[in-house]
Amino acid sequence: MDFMNMLEVIVRSVVSLAVLFILTKMLGKKQVSQLSAFDYVIGISMGSIAAEMTINKSVPFFDGVVAMTSYTIIAYLISFLTLKSIVLRRFFTGVPVVLISNGKIIKKNLRRSLIDINDLLEEARSSGYFNLDEVAYAVMETTGYISFLPKTENRPVTLKDMNLKDTVASLSAAVIIDGKVMEDNLRQIKKDEKWLIKQIKKQGYESPESIILATVDANYKMSIFKEIDVEEKKSVLE
């Protein structure tokens, strides 16, 4: 491959990636795990077209852009129509399937969802349930994710159960990241670096350099995570 051919491939790669990124942004924000089967097909098709545009010089570049734009328009129209029509929404995105009902496994729905008991157990463990006897309901969502509802006796105790007053939830501000002071975040919580140094010294730290993360909550309580070197041990799961 001579220099001019290499340069052409690079330019085609950059432009096709830029076009693909812009069109994907137009379709809205969705994580890969939240894509429906239709969204996944559209994404794979557009990615394949972009790759073909890059390495296949016999394909006119403009044709590839038109094809990707057509896919984007089709996907956008179908997304719009599914917002208006429940029937179309069920056709394109599907419907959730109940896998466990009142603690009983529905084998018919497992087969319908093309998953087996081992898959169900793995998903349950991933959600923190190591015993299916703790689960009242399990639902296969349209994205492929399985949601679990624990039985009443296995649900976590809430403040309401204990007749305690709740406090307003708030985000913690990261004031030190990788040993560096986040001055903008300090200003947002109306504190300065002098206050920060005083607080970390109270917890036995001389400087921010040895701290990988420090956060401050709404009550100005600081949580510090120190950077340490630990020899990695072989996992029993390997």
Q: What is the pLDDT of residues 48-101, one digit of tens each?
A: 888 888 888 787 888 888 888 898 888 888 888 888 888 888 888 788 999 999
Q: What is the pLDDT of residues 33-55, one digit of tens each?
A: 556 677 778 888 888 888 888 88
So what's the pLDDT on residue 236? 42
So what's the pLDDT on residue 167? 58
Amino acid at position 137, single letter: Y
Which DSSP string corresponds to 11-32?
Answer: HHHHHHHHHHHHHHHHT----G
Residue 156 has pLDDT above 90, yes or no: no
So what's the pLDDT on residue 225? 79
pLDDT band at 235 (very low <50, low <70, confident <90, very high): very low
Residue 27 has pLDDT above 50, yes or no: yes
Burial 207-218 (b: 16+ CB within 10 A, else e): ebeebeebbbee
Amino acid at position 120, single letter: L
- In the block, tokens 């794979």 appear at 44
Q: Which two tokens stand for residue 203?
A: 């917890």
So what's the pLDDT on residue 191? 92
Residue 237 has pLDDT above 90, yes or no: no
Q: 229 CB contacts (<8 Å, ≥6 apart)? A: none
Q: Residue 216's closest CA among 204, 227, 200?
A: 200
* Cα–Cα distance, 225 to 178 (Å, whole number): 10
- In the block, tokens 């073909």 appear at 52
Residue 1 has pLDDT above 60, yes or no: no
* Cα–Cα distance, 179 to 227 (Å, whole number): 9
For the domain 173-226, what is the CATH code? 3.30.240.20
* Cα–Cα distance, 137 to 99 (Å, whole number): 7
Residue 227 has pLDDT above 70, yes or no: no
**Residue, of 27 and 74, whose pLDDT is higher:** 74
So what's the pLDDT on residue 238? 40
Multiple choice CATH, 97-154, 3.30.240.20, 3.20.20.450, 2.70.98.40, 3.20.20.120: 3.30.240.20
175 within 8 A of 181, measured Cβ to Cβ? yes
